[in-house]
Amino acid sequence: MSEMIGNPGQQRTELSGKWGWFVALGIALIVLGVIAWIDVVAVTLAGTIFVGAMLLVGGVFQIIHGFMMRGWQSLLLSLLCGAFSIIAGLLIMSEPLKGALVLTILVVAALVVGGIIRIVIGFRHREMPSWGWLVASGIISLVVAALLYASLPWSGLWVLGTLIAVELLVQGVSWLSFGLALRKAG
């Protein structure tokens, strides 16, 4: 930990010798992103099953935690939440197509909420020079949400996989760029 707190110039020098690892990470993530992009439906289904498994595991741990805290006033609520997570996880894993549809609806809801919030913030800060960008990004989120909602249930087949592919590609490009910048700095 003390290594990370040290002099930023010293850290850059030490990291510049390891630039190849960052480049390798970036290339690996870009390759995975391209593979994910090729078959977004399979990645959507795999991602949905993963989300279901995490809900299942989280629910089991919540129930175990509940039983370990027997005198707790919220024991019943904790057990109910754990049971709900287990049931949701099992349902999503047993019906990944329907689970992907539910997750897509959650993405639509998040886009709507985030878009409205950015529009409100933008209009509240009209004195700022870039307030229009906030409003524009909020409007774009609302348009994307409307398009996804209008294309349901089909958008449920590709949304999660596309988001995963884009995330892998963006991470890959950023780590690759970071590694190449370290190489130049060294």
Give residue limits of the domains in the chain: 18-185
Residue 185 has pLDDT above 70, yes or no: yes
> How many Å from the N-terminal Cα to the C-terminal Cα in the chain?
23
pLDDT at 1: 47
DSSP-derived secondary structure letter, 6: S
DSSP-derived secondary structure letter, 17: T
pLDDT at 130: 87
pLDDT at 67: 86
> Residue 159: which of 138, 172, 145 has the closest Cα?
145
Q: pLDDT tens digits, residue range 164-174? A: 999 999 999 99
pTM value is 0.73
Residue 10 has pLDDT above 80, yes or no: no
Residue 4 has pLDDT above 90, yes or no: no
Compute CA distances 142 → 67, 136, 155, whole Å.
43, 10, 16
